[in-house]
Amino acid sequence: MLTDEELLRYSRQLLLPAFDVAGQLKLKASRVLVVGCGGLGCPVALYLGAAGVGRMTLVDDDQVDVSNLQRQVAFSEAQVGESKAAMLAARVRSINPQVEVDVVTSRLDGEALLARVASATVVVDCTDNFHTRFALNRACVSEQVPLISGAAIRAEGQLSVFDSRRADSPCYHCLYPEEGNEDLTCSEAGVVGPLVGMIGASQAMEAIKVISGVGEPLVGRLLILDAWRMEWRQMALARDPDCPVCGVHPSFNA
């Protein structure tokens, strides 16, 4: 049930006929794992916290740097040098004290990663390197947990949802093979600040859709944004039957 305070706090969402109390209760019962607390992770955590997810785990082993402040809007200059995950958790709690927020300030790998993924309703990938993205994808396929994937660099963004519970859903590896992909970071290529907000907010929207069962998530579709031209393109993604992660004969273990 929702308390009187929750009915007031979430009243604008409850007015949506397709969402209503049932959708809010699903959010309240959900557990969201957000990996990466930078440009994408900030809007994801703030919007999902404000929306009323029940429990959120924030993972990041980095500290706030002055160069982050141009786009990582959850942080202030006074927090430079502090843990990103801890500072973002504090910001979420200040917006919505009803949300339980856990913090992980070390990198997740192996069994620890699998355990965190297995306990989540959805996983939101807000990382900036292929190694972690591939590891998250393998864990989500192994544990049958939906993965909300976003990326932003320069003025270009990408967004998709990989849901291995659905027979028609590709996984991240179907889109990108592990061989031949090199990391390109914002510190090397640059990024325009509002772009990460746009992609992160879109990831939060996809997470709400997956959790509540309302709407049609971006499964089997990849959205690509050119922010300089403000053009969105959509590509259809098909599951690769020979994919070593989600295919008929998988060869990669989580």
Q: What is the 3-state secondary structure (H, E, C) of the chain?
A: CCCHHHHHHCHHHHCCCCCHHHHHHHHHCCEEEEECCCCCHHHHHHHHHHHCCCEEEEECCCECCHHHHHCCCCCCHHHCCCEHHHHHHHHHHHHCCCCEEEEECCCCCHHHHHHHHHCCCEEEECCCCHHHHHHHHHHHHHHCCCEEEEEEEECEEEEEEECCCCCCCCCHHHHCCCCCCCCCCHHHHCECHHHHHHHHHHHHHHHHHHHHCCCCCCECEEEEEECCCCEEEEEECCCCCCCCCCCCCCCCCC
In this prediction, residue 251 carries a pLDDT of 73
Average pLDDT, the chain: 94
Share of the chain above pLDDT 70, in %: 95
Q: What is the pLDDT of residues 25-61, one digit of tens each?
A: 999 999 999 999 999 999 999 999 999 999 999 999 9
Q: What is the pLDDT of residues 103-144, one digit of tens each?
A: 999 999 999 999 999 999 999 999 989 999 999 999 999 999
Give 6: exposed, middle or buried? Use CB within 10 Å, 0-12, 13-18, 19+.
middle
Domain ranges for the chain: 15-236
- Regarding pTM above 0.85, the answer is yes
In this prediction, residue 54 carries a pLDDT of 98
Q: Which residue has the tokens 């990938």?
A: 125
Asked whether the beta carbons of 222 and 171 are under 8 A apart, the reply is: no
How many whole angstroms separate alpha carbon 124 and alpha carbon 112?
17
pLDDT band at residue 189 using 50, 70 and 90 as cut-offs = confident
Residues 6+ positions from 25 with CB-CB distance below 8 Å: 1, 2
Distance of CA 189 to the CA centre of its chain: 22
How many whole angstroms separate alpha carbon 74 and alpha carbon 84?
9
Cα torsion 171, 176, 178, 179: sign: positive
List b or e across 215-230, with b for residues whose CB sees 16 or more CB atoms inside 10 angstroms: eebbbbebbebebeee
Q: Which residue has the tokens 């997810």?
A: 53
Domain 15-236 CATH class label: alpha beta
Q: Which two tokens stand for residue 204?
A: 């939060």
